[in-house]
Amino acid sequence: MPPPTAAIETPVLSARAIARIASPRFQGTLTSQDATARGCTLIATEHGAQLAPDHIHLTMLVDAAGVVQEVRYTTPATDSQLASYDVMAERCQGRTLDEVATITPRQIDQLLRDDGGGPVLELVATNHPDGDHPYYVLRKAAERHSGAKTTATQAGAAGQTSENLPWAAVGLFEKVRRIEGVLDTQVRPALASDGGGIDLVDLKQDDLYVQYHGACGSCSSSIGGTLQFIQDSLNNHLGTTLAIKVTGGDEGLPGL
């Protein structure tokens, strides 16, 4: 007699999640005018392909001490994903960006559960490893803020703006900022048209590690043509010799 099959845990919307979906508190967009009025720095970042249901565009006002004073987001997400983004935004306010960059879906899921209730979020209900990984959009926000401070210091010492500093003269966070800029303007829109997307995972010297999501993760063209397009776009715009390496779900694919 075969052993019993373990039941698959299916997330069920809690009363707290339903209430948050019905009345989100942090939707919207903050602007540079908002930052100036508050004496803060505006940090803007996003995650996911433009047309993906989990795409999020996040804006933050961060004070001189690195503390998040206000957060807003826009997203096409619905149901539990929308609830999680709204609670995530709430948890950011009043915390430093270093603290913000440690917030995980599992932590947010705990806040969305009713008393004694089970998992609400899919990533947690299925024990997906991403449930314990910090939200990537928050990590990117922390990196961009750190990069802005680093390059401002470097530019002041050299009497130059960060945009004029050569690639070899800037730090890791500025390099990441430049790479993300090219990905946002040149690469992600093209991938989004096919229902896919790409995330920057790590940069080690000239090796750039990325991870596909959406349709790109299972597309056979990811092995050749798409990788070449991404690599050429980055190197042509940045004047670099970066080599793209695929990690995560497509870890078996060869880099170029």
87: domain CATH number is 3.90.1010.10
C-alpha span between 91 and 71 (Å, rounded): 10
Question: What pLDDT does 113 receive?
Answer: 95
Domain membership flag for residue 150: no
Among the candidates 140, 158, 192, a domain finishes at: 140
- In this model, does residue 85 exceed pLDDT 60? yes
Do residues 25 and 134 share a domain?
Answer: yes
96, 79 Cβ separation under 8 angstroms: no
Residue 218 Cα to chain centre, angstroms:
21
CA distances 127 to 102, 104, 106, Å, are 18, 13, 10
Do residues 188 and 102 share a domain?
Answer: no
Rounded percentage of the chain residues whose pLDDT exceeds 90: 35
Backbone torsion region of residue 160, taken as left when φ is above 0, otherwise alpha when ψ lies between -120 and 50, otherwise beta: beta
Range of the domain at 228: 166-250
Domain membership flag for residue 50: yes
Do residues 99 and 208 share a domain?
Answer: no
> Nearest 5 degrees, angle CA 163-CA 166-CA 172?
85
Domain membership flag for residue 6: no
pLDDT digits (tens, 9 = 90+) for 9-49: 567 899 999 999 999 999 999 998 999 999 999 888 887 76
Do residues 126 and 184 share a domain?
Answer: no
Q: Which of 100, 201, 93 is nearest to 146 (CA)?
A: 100
pLDDT digits (tens, 9 = 90+) for 91-115: 999 999 999 999 999 999 999 999 9
Do residues 181 and 218 share a domain?
Answer: yes
Domain membership flag for residue 86: yes
CB atoms within 10 A of CB 159: 7
Question: What pLDDT does 103 receive?
Answer: 95
Among the candidates 105, 140, 175, a domain finishes at: 140
| Pairing status of strand 207-214 against strand 196-204 | antiparallel
Residues paired with residue 197 on neighbouring β-strands, in sequence order: 213
Q: Which two tokens stand for residue 233?
A: 């776009």
Do residues 116 and 208 share a domain?
Answer: no
pTM of the model: 0.61
Q: What is the largest CA-CA distance in the chain?
A: 77
Domain membership flag for residue 2: no
Do residues 132 and 21 share a domain?
Answer: yes
- Sign of the dihedral through C-alpha 157, 162, 165, 171: positive
Least confident of 107-111, 133-137, 139-143, 148-152: 148-152
Domain membership flag for residue 180: yes
pLDDT digits (tens, 9 = 90+) for 201-246: 888 888 998 887 765 555 544 456 778 888 888 888 888 889 998 8
- Sign of the dihedral through C-alpha 206, 201, 47, 60: negative
Do residues 90 and 186 share a domain?
Answer: no
Residue located via tokens 């004694």:
116
Do residues 170 and 135 share a domain?
Answer: no
Task: Give the containing element (helix H, strand E) for 62.
Answer: strand 56-62
Number of folded domains that form the chain: 2
Which DSSP string do the residues of 12-40 spell out, in sequence order? ---HHHHHHHHS-SSBS---HHHHHHHT-
CATH number, domain containing residue 177: 3.30.300.130
SS3 assignment for 90-146:
HHHCCCEHHHHCCCCHHHHHHHHCCCCCCCCCHHHHCCCHHHHCCCHHHHHHHHHHH
pLDDT digits (tens, 9 = 90+) for 154-167: 445 555 555 667 88
Do residues 85 and 120 share a domain?
Answer: yes
Domain membership flag for residue 21: yes
Rounded percentage of the chain residues whose pLDDT exceeds 70: 80
